[in-house]
């Protein structure tokens, strides 16, 4: 069900932060109340695709004494895309609400 | 490092061998992820939750494909443009005759054919028709090689003096480097296509 919306979910989860893949997966799981327990291996190719599309930028960080991780942040283009996707989703969801509501 | 994570990463390396740079990047990133997960659930479960390496490799190949197609088309377009410019440069500076001999025909005909093929490849790339993009770009590379070869022979036949020969060799080197870059892009695109077909 999430497949067509994975990019929007990833962009929204990253938002204004710079997050690594593990933190992104944990954040999606927490924010969705456990509804979206994504197969972990699907996230990294999607992040790579968004980076190649110019919507994300990534860099390696290594905190003192911590593990080296690649963190992702939205680019300006990614922020614009997120705004558009949010608007598109709201329009779609309100349409679905109207249709489903009319049948109950 | 040994154990399930190390075995998993080795297997991932094997299936990502179609792009060594991507493989290095993925290995480091996924190793970090698996170690984080393993701290919670153990190595065996961390690996199991991540998914099969072949599926991960395929997902990466699909993710990188649009960029790979674009790079191949850009390399072909650059070579086509450079071939046109350098051919004109040689013709003007060396004052080559523009007659209808076979070399001129191969020179110009090859270039025109290549530009048509590159246009067709761009169009197919926009529709993600990988097999057709590869086919058109291979045609383009062959046509450009023919055009460059004919243009160089034609230039050498009409050239006199060291400076003329230096110009021909210099421009030929630029064209050969670009042709090599295009062939490398095509080889990488072929490896991606094989991974996706596997």
CATH number of the domain where residue B101 is located: 1.20.140
Residues B164 and B133 reside in one and the same domain: yes
- Same domain? For B159 and B182 the reply is yes
Mean pLDDT of A59-64: 88
Q: Does B126 touch chain A (CB under 8 A)?
A: no
Which sequence spans correspond to the domains of chain A? 3-103
CB-based contact, A63 to chain B, within 8 Å: no
SS (H, E, C) chain B: CCCHHHHHHHHHHHHCCCCHHHHHHHHHHHHHHHHHHHHHHCHHHHHHHHCCHHHHHHHHHHHHHHHHHHHHHHHHHHHHHHHHHHHHHHHHHCCCCCCCCHHHHHHHHHHHHHHHHHHHHHHHHHCCCHHHHHHHHHHHHHHHHHHHHHHHHHHHHHCCCHHHHHHHHHHHHHHHHHHHHHHHHHHHHHHHHHHHHC
User: Looking at chain A from residue 17 to 36, which residues have their Cβ under 8 Å from any Cβ of chain B?
Assistant: 20-22
The total of structural domains in chain B comes to: 2
Same domain for B100 and B21? no
**Is B131 an 8 Å CB contact of chain A?**
no
Pick A21's closest partner by Cβ from B25, B29, B35. Answer: B29
Q: Mark yes or no for CB contact B51/A42 under 8 Å.
A: yes
pLDDT on residue B82: 86
- A68 DSSP 8-state letter: -
Task: Find the mean pLDDT for residues A27-44.
Answer: 86
The answer to whether residues B91 and B30 belong to one domain is no
Distance CA B77, CA B3 (A): 47
Mark whether B100 and B165 lie in a shared domain.
Answer: yes
What domain range includes position B142?
64-197
Which one, of B154, B50, B149, lies nearest residue B97 by Cα?
Answer: B154
pLDDT score, position A67: 83
pLDDT bucket at A12, cuts 50 / 70 / 90: very high
pTM of the model: 0.77
pLDDT score recorded for residue A11: 95
Q: Which CATH architecture has domain A3-103?
A: Orthogonal Bundle (1.10)
Query: With 60 as the cut, is the pLDDT of residue A60 above it?
Result: yes
> Which chain B residues contact residue A66 at CB under 8 A?
none
Looking at residue A103, what is its pLDDT? Answer: 55
Q: Is A42 on the interface with B (CB under 8 A)?
A: yes
Q: Based on the fold, state whether residues B69 and B43 are members of the same structural domain.
A: no
Q: What is the pLDDT of residue A3?
A: 67
**A48 interface with B at CB cutoff 8 Å:** yes
Residues B37 and B14 in one domain: yes
**B40 and B79 share one domain:** no
The low-confidence residues of chain B, meaning pLDDT below 50, are none
Q: Is A27 left (phi over 0), alpha (psi -120 to 50) or beta?
A: alpha
Asked if residue B79 belongs to a domain, the reply is: yes
pLDDT of residue B98: 66
- On whether residue B59 sits in a domain, the answer given is no
B189 and B97 inside one domain: yes
Identify whether residues B185 and B124 lie together within a single domain. Answer: yes
């Amino acid at each position: 069900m999430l497949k067509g919306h994975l990019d929007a979910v990833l962009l929204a989860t990253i938002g204004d932060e710079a997050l690594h893949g593990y933190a992104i997966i944990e954040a999606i799981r927490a924010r969705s109340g456990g509804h979206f327990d994504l197969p972990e291996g699907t996230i990294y190719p999607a992040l790579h695709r968004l980076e190649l599309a110019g919507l994300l930028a990534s860099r390696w960080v290594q905190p003192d004494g911590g593990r080296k991780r690649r963190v992702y942040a939205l680019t300006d283009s990614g922020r614009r895309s997120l705004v558009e996707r949010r608007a598109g989703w709201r329009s779609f969801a309100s349409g679905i609400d109207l249709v489903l509501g009319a049948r109950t | 490092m040994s154990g399930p994570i190390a075995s998993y990463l080795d297997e991932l390396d094997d299936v990502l061998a179609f792009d060594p740079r991507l493989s290095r990047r993925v290995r480091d990133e996924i190793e970090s992820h698996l170690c984080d997960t393993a701290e919670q659930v153990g190595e065996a479960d961390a690996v199991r939750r991540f998914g099969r390496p072949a599926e991960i490799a395929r997902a990466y190949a699909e993710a990188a494909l649009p960029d790979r197609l674009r790079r191949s088309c850009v390399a072909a377009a650059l070579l086509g443009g450079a071939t046109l410019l350098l051919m004109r440069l040689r013709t003007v500076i060396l004052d080559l005759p523009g007659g209808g001999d076979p070399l001129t025909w191969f020179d110009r005909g090859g270039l025109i054919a290549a530009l048509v093929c590159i246009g067709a490849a761009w169009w197919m790339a926009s529709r993600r028709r990988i097999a057709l993009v590869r086919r058109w770009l291979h045609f383009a590379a062959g046509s450009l090689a023919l055009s460059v070869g004919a243009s160089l022979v034609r230039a050498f036949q009409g050239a006199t003096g060291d400076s003329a020969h230096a110009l021909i060799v210099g421009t030929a080197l630029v064209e050969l480097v670009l042709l090599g870059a295009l062939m490398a892009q095509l080889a990488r695109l072929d490896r991606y296509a094989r991974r996706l077909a596997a």
